[in-house]
Amino acid sequence: QQDDIDNALNQIRSALELAKADVENLIDEEEKGGIYIPSIHEPSPAERKNAVVDLQLKIADCLSYKEDYDLAAEAYEKALHLHVGFRRWNRSRKSTKKYLNQLSGLPVSTSTNVEVDISNTTSLEAALRNSLADCLAHIGQPELSLKHYEASLAIKRRIGGGHPNE
């Protein structure tokens, strides 16, 4: 079973690199002055960014299932940074491309400062923070874990159901 998980991780990592390259290519075309008009069957720029976040989340979930909590925490944090970053830099393609490149070596944060813009959050952010908190608790970072649990709860209380940010 471990071999199956490792094979899945390798395939997901390959898919993630392709998805990142796709977003970067999209950004390059727009920087050249091209106008992006997706066909009916083609994903939108937002869907392409969401694919990057989703693949990073799948990597984190596989690592958590393997009980490799250090690497899982790192992967959840990357997914969280991607999700929040894509939402913040939605209007700035250059910033998005730079942001993608900066995330390649992102370590697990040891900062106890957990920033949350409660007015502009999603249920995915709450779920990512909750999963990250689980991993942080497993690796002996209870204070940081608690801050992410509290942030997740605050987001869930703020959003409730059917929030327009979703």
Q: What is the pLDDT along the chain (166 residues), one digit of tens a residue?
A: 889 999 999 999 999 999 999 888 877 776 677 666 667 788 887 888 899 999 999 999 999 999 999 999 999 999 998 998 887 765 554 555 565 665 554 444 545 566 777 777 889 999 999 999 999 999 999 999 999 999 999 999 988 755 455 4
Tokens of 95: 């910033």
Residue 90 is predicted with a pLDDT of 58
Helices 123-138, 142-159: inter-axial angle, 10-degree rounding: 160
Looking up tokens 């923070």 gives 129
pTM > 0.95 = no
N-to-C CA span, the chain: 35
Spatial separation of the C-alpha atoms in residues 156 and 125, rounded to whole Å: 9
